[in-house]
Amino acid sequence: MLGHALYMKAIHGGKAKNDRIDADKIARLLRGGNFPLAYVYPKGMRETRDLLRRRMYLVNKRAELLTHVQILNYQCNLPPFPKKLSFADNREELHLPERFSDPSVKKNASLDLALIDKLDELITDVELYLTRTAKVDDTQTYHRLRTIPGVGPILALVLLYELHEVVRFDHVGQFLSYARLVRCSHESAGKKLGSGCKKIGNAHLRWCFGEAACLFLRGSERARAWKQKQEKKRGPAKALAILAAKLGRAVYHMLRKKEAFDEERFWNGATAKGQRASLAAKEPAVTPTATP
């Protein structure tokens, strides 16, 4: 049995800690049926999952360097870049080091660009390796994930290896909580006291759904119209988080029912649910009458 260390600490926290106290607490948890189990990820898939996570680390570092180049541009009070810096051709066309007049700023930008070019090379190499050698036992699940607009081969691999098996989640709420797509509310005596435990769950899966939401907006006109309406009510960040949670809910039901992604059903299902909720709120309450 593999115990969840964080949950065991939450159940049995104390000032003193040693092997004898820990063994006694674990024995009490086992005897009382409160021993929190952790999921045992299959050994044959851990190596590829770790490589996918290393690729995500390189992608994040590349994004940090691109952001730093933008910051240098703002600090020098220069106009914004007319093209995206994520493409190598655009960086060469803009002549970035020569854009800055100060020699130290030029050197700073040159270092960032050199690191970005090297990371581009490394990311391309690891992606090619993953697409050729990654072991996909359940090819149907992989192809179902590819049916989501914007989800490519690498993003589908990340989803597949981070999820492994969706059947380990009893209901969609558990899956959304594991993917950090919902807030954990704190409530006492009918009063909400905020939320917490935001970092409990799979951070890689949360990043993956955030990326999928951004790519989904690129390829769906209906999604962009929906996001504009949500931005007026909740702001851009909240609207994107809601879309990521909607995609997470859709992925859970897709894999549970073994169906492909249906965008028409994705939007109409949410509309029908909202209409049912509004009708239920408008219905007058029926008061029972006493029978003679």
User: For 174-205, how does the pLDDT look when each residue is reduced to its tens digit (9 = 90+)?
Assistant: 899 899 898 877 777 778 777 767 778 889 99
Task: Write the pLDDT tens digit of every residue in 21-53.
Answer: 888 888 888 888 888 888 888 888 889 999 999
**Residue (of 33, 38, 31) closest to 2 by Cα position:** 38
d(CA 69, CA 83): 13
Q: What percent of the chain has pLDDT over 90?
A: 38
Q: Is the pLDDT of residue 282 over 50?
A: no
Task: Write the pLDDT tens digit of every residue in 123-137.
Answer: 999 999 998 888 877
**Residue (of 1, 270, 78, 38) closest to 70 by Cα position:** 78
Residue environment code for 186-219, b if the CB has 16+ CB neighbours within 10 A, otherwise e: eeeeeeeeeeeeeeebeebbbbbbbbbbebbbee
Task: Write the pLDDT tens digit of every residue in 68-87.
Answer: 999 999 999 988 888 888 88
* pLDDT range class, residue 270, cuts 50, 70, 90: low
134 Cβ neighbours under 8 A, 6+ residues apart: 48, 157, 161
Q: Is the pLDDT of residue 60 over 70?
A: yes
Which pLDDT belongs to residue 286?
39
Residue in the structure block whose two tokens are 């600490």: 9
* pLDDT range class, residue 278, cuts 50, 70, 90: very low
Q: Is the pLDDT of residue 116 over 90?
A: yes
98 Cβ neighbours under 8 A, 6+ residues apart: 106
Task: Write the pLDDT tens digit of every residue in 207-231.
Answer: 999 999 999 998 888 999 999 999 9
Q: Is the pLDDT of residue 247 over 50?
A: yes
284 Cβ neighbours under 8 A, 6+ residues apart: none
Which pLDDT belongs to residue 216?
92
Threshold 0.85, pTM exceeds = no
278 Cβ neighbours under 8 A, 6+ residues apart: none
SS3 83: coil
Return the domain boundaries, the chain.
45-135, 142-182+200-265
What is the rounded average pLDDT of the residues 99-125?
92
Evaluate whether 185 touches 195 at the Cβ level (below 8 Å): yes
